[in-house]
Amino acid sequence: MTTQSDSTIEITAFNWVPPFAAGLVRDLRVRWALEEAGLSYRARLLDVGSERPADYYREQPFGQVPCYREGDLRLFETGAIVQHIGEKDERLLPRDPVGRARAIQWSYAALNSVEPALQNLTLIDVFYADQEWAKLRRPGAADFARLKLQRVADWLGDSEWLEDRFTIGDLMMVTVLRILRHTELVGERRNLAGYLARGEARPAFQRALAAQLRDFENRDAA
């Protein structure tokens, strides 16, 4: 469901990132949601190493990706964008009030309760691993990440998804768990490892990931 020239939905993404970030850039979340909902879109690619155009900050105040355009609507922040897409399709966001609220709750939990701890550990490992302060800080950061993972694992138990079926909450949580792919922390909990694998095995995820990586490959080939 990607890159159709007449699409009314456009997202911004990078044309390339270093290998450690490939498959982790946050436009993947939006691509995945669009694929799950069967919605066509096109990607407006930015150069990761270049200054953003001045008018881009009117779309995304922090200069990040993705931004989302749909007619007169402009959105930034993946939580808001994915929730908006979910409103279009019951497969992502249940229509019953309780199911809808709980799905949104889990998307917020992924972004606010889990992602900061996992991202903190990843920043230490990827960007500061050789610095003395990072060596001292890493054990505590890893323990805090494990605590967050354990809380998710405890809730999940033997269930397939966080609630009674796949929702935007699972979509966001799976993409957050992928941040730790350079470690074995998720794999320490069998149910979380299975949960992550189920998310990544969804055909819509596979299409979204392929589309993101294809943009990077096209830039390399140019």
Q: What is the CATH number of the domain that holds 81?
A: 3.40.30.10
Is there a single domain that holds both residue 208 and residue 198? no
How many Å apart are CA 124 and CA 128, to the nearest integer? Answer: 5
Is there a single domain that holds both residue 132 and residue 180? yes
Please indicate, yes or no, if residue 193 is contained in any of the structural domains. Answer: yes
Please indicate, yes or no, if residue 137 is contained in any of the structural domains. Answer: yes
CA 63 vs. chain centroid, Å, equals: 17
Is there a single domain that holds both residue 116 and residue 59? no
Specify the pLDDT at position 218. 80
Q: Tens digit of pLDDT for each residue in 7-52?
A: 589 999 999 999 999 999 999 999 999 999 999 999 999 999 899 9
Is there a single domain that holds both residue 113 and residue 197? yes
Specify the pLDDT at position 6. 43
Q: What share of the chain is helix, strand, coil (3-state, %, to 5)?
A: 60, 10, 30
Please indicate, yes or no, if residue 218 is contained in any of the structural domains. Answer: no
Q: Tens digit of pLDDT for each residue in 76-119?
A: 999 999 999 999 999 999 999 999 999 999 999 999 999 999 99
Neighbours of 222 (CB within 10 A): 7
Please indicate, yes or no, if residue 54 is contained in any of the structural domains. Answer: yes
Which residue, 156, 182, 220, is CA-closest to 16?
A: 220
Please indicate, yes or no, if residue 45 is contained in any of the structural domains. Answer: yes
| CATH number of the domain bearing residue 197 | 1.20.1050.10
Longest dimension (CA), the chain: 53
Specify the pLDDT at position 1. 54
CA 21 vs. chain centroid, Å, equals: 12
219 pLDDT exceeds 80? no
Q: Tens digit of pLDDT for each residue in 130-143?
A: 999 999 999 999 99
- DSSP letter (8 states) at residue 112: I
Is there a single domain that holds both residue 169 and residue 133? yes
Is there a single domain that holds both residue 138 and residue 42? no
Is there a single domain that holds both residue 48 and residue 107? no
Is there a single domain that holds both residue 63 and residue 130? no
Please indicate, yes or no, if residue 172 is contained in any of the structural domains. Answer: yes
Specify the pLDDT at position 4. 41
Please indicate, yes or no, if residue 1 is contained in any of the structural domains. Answer: no
How many Å apart are CA 60 and CA 43, to the nearest integer? Answer: 15
How many Å apart are CA 215 and CA 221, to the nearest integer? Answer: 10
User: Buried (b) or exposed (e) across 31-58, using 16+ Cβ within 10 A?
Assistant: bbbbbbbebebbbebbebeeebeeebee
Residue range of the domain that includes 110:
97-202
Number of domains present in the structure of the chain: 2
Is there a single domain that holds both residue 107 and residue 87? no
Is there a single domain that holds both residue 21 and residue 86? yes
How many Å apart are CA 204 and CA 29, to the nearest integer? Answer: 11
Please indicate, yes or no, if residue 4 is contained in any of the structural domains. Answer: no
